[in-house]
């Protein structure tokens, strides 16, 4: 079947994508600027098409714990929220990571701190990539930059979640969630049957049958030495993810003298900045992060050896820039430019910052 072409908001595309990916359940709570995810799912009534459950929980805390229950049964479950709501989910996300339960979480980030604003922001980077809850854990973080990538992130996210038995976070922002673009819709993937779940996910709590031990899912172990061994197991898994799941995009870096490092909405804005620079004869390229964790450590280090300077652009006071600094060679000229509180930078102002720091300065 040929792909269907539609004009959709990013939030709507993500919602359609989870239905098409064969999701079993969505549990969420409304918050701007991601409320269209739940609204779209409610309007589409996937329970009549595929049997997918869509439920508005009483809170974000309830939502994330519903994911724990559904994921423990081997189901494809997800939630979505925006920055303050994601903060309320951090304890549950630590539990999910500790119990090695696969699930999908979408954060349409907005400006903060506190209740902040409903405008887009990227100040949730630290919370997302460093493990916002308690304990030594990581989750995979994907940063889409278009409506099409919002759609694609759903199936990719579920695939990674079940491949590694880990939560996967799709970190977008209010701009990408609200913008409308054309998007190609893929085929409908069926939900797994109970027998298929038992066969593909033998760890799931599907009811003990003869011939196997009970499956017990928990993040609790009162024996410190056993729990340390579990932590070693998690860290080994995270190293495998770092070796195999780094994703990024290089734009005009082949001949670049300078580079911008950005992700999500700002990476798209920076493409116009790059165009302005090249029209002036300045060889500027872009390194776009797609996986925020795992972070492209080796690739950033190699980039820092080749260019005269790196400008990190993000809608925050400076978070991603710290990872760029940590992984660049000593002496690399790294600058940061950020807007906060929901303000989106323009291509011209980014170019002026770049020019003042690297060309005129």
Q: What is the pLDDT of residues 9-20, one digit of tens each?
A: 999 999 999 999
Task: For the beta carbon of residue 332, count every other beta carbon within 10 angstroms.
Answer: 18
- CATH, domain range 251-359: 3.40.50.920
Residue 1 has pLDDT above 60, yes or no: no
Across residues 154-175, what is the average pLDDT?
98
How far apart are alpha carbons 61 and 66 in whole angstroms? Answer: 9
Q: What is the pLDDT of residues 320-341, one digit of tens each?
A: 999 999 999 999 999 999 999 9
Residues 6+ apart with CB under 8 A from 120: 33, 109, 110, 111, 173, 174, 175, 176, 265, 315, 342, 344
Q: What is the pLDDT of residues 227-249, one digit of tens each?
A: 999 999 999 999 999 999 999 99
How far apart are alpha carbons 284 and 255 in whole angstroms? Answer: 8
Could you report how far apart the first and last alpha carbons of the chain are, in Å? 56
For CA atoms 265, 271, 277, 280, the dihedral sign is negative
Architecture of domain 4-194: 3-Layer(aba) Sandwich (3.40)
Question: pLDDT class for 188, splitting at 50, 70, 90?
Answer: very high
User: Which of 357, 314, 360 has its CA nearest to residue 333?
Assistant: 357
The residues pairing with 56 across neighbouring beta strands, listed in sequence order, are 28
The domain limits of the chain are: 4-194, 251-359
Six-digit token pair at 338? 């950020």
Using an 8 Å Cβ cutoff, are 357 and 309 in contact? yes
Q: What is the pLDDT of residues 54-93, one digit of tens each?
A: 999 999 999 999 999 999 999 999 999 999 999 999 999 9
Phi, psi (rounded to 5 degrees) for 251? -120, 115
Residue 197 has pLDDT above 80, yes or no: yes
Task: For the beta carbon of residue 282, count every other beta carbon within 10 angstroms.
Answer: 17
- The yes-or-no answer to whether 4-194 and 251-359 have a common fold is yes
Residue 314: predicted pLDDT: 98
Residue 17: predicted pLDDT: 98
Six-digit token pair at 251? 């734009």
């Amino acid at each position: 079947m040929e792909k269907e072409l539609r004009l959709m908001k990013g939030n709507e595309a993500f919602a359609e994508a989870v239905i098409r990916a064969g999701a079993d359940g969505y549990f969420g709570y409304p918050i701007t600027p991601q409320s269209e995810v739940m609204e779209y799912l409610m309007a589409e009534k996937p329970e009549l098409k595929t049997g997918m459950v869509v439920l508005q929980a009483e809170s974000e805390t309830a939502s994330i714990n519903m994911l724990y229950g559904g994921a423990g049964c081997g189901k494809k479950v997800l939630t979505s929220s925006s920055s303050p709501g994601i903060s309320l989910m951090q304890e549950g996300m630590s539990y999910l990571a500790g119990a090695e339960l696969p699930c999908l979480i979408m954060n349409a980030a907005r400006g903060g701190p506190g209740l902040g604003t409903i405008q887009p922001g990227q100040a949730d980077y630290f919370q997302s990539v460093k493990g916002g809850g308690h304990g030594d854990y990581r989750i995979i973080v994907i940063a889409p930059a278009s409506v099409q990538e919002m759609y694609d992130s759903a199936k990719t996210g579920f695939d990674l979640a079940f491949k590694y038995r880990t939560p996967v976070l799709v970190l977008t922002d209010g701009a990408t969630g609200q913008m409308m673009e054309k998007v190609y819709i893929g085929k409908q993937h069926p939900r797994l049957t109970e027998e298929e779940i038992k066969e593909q996910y033998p760890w799931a709590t599907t009811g003990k049958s003869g011939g196997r031990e009970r499956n017990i899912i928990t993040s609790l172990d009162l024996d410190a030495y056993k729990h340390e061994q579990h932590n070693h197991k998690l860290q080994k898994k995270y190293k495998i993810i770092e070796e195999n799941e780094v994703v990024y995009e290089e734009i005009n870096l082949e001949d670049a003298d300078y580079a911008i490092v950005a992700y999500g909405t700002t990476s798209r804005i920076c493409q116009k900045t790059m165009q302005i620079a090249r029209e002036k004869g300045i060889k500027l390229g872009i390194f776009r992060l797609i996986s925020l964790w795992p972070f492209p450590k080796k690739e950033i280090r190699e980039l820092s050896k080749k260019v005269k300077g790196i400008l990190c652009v993000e809608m925050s006071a400076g978070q991603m820039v710290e990872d760029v600094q940590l992984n660049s060679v000593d002496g690399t000229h790294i600058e940061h430019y950020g807007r906060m509180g929901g303000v989106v930078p323009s291509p011209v102002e980014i170019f002026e910052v770049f020019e003042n720091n690297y060309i005129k300065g």
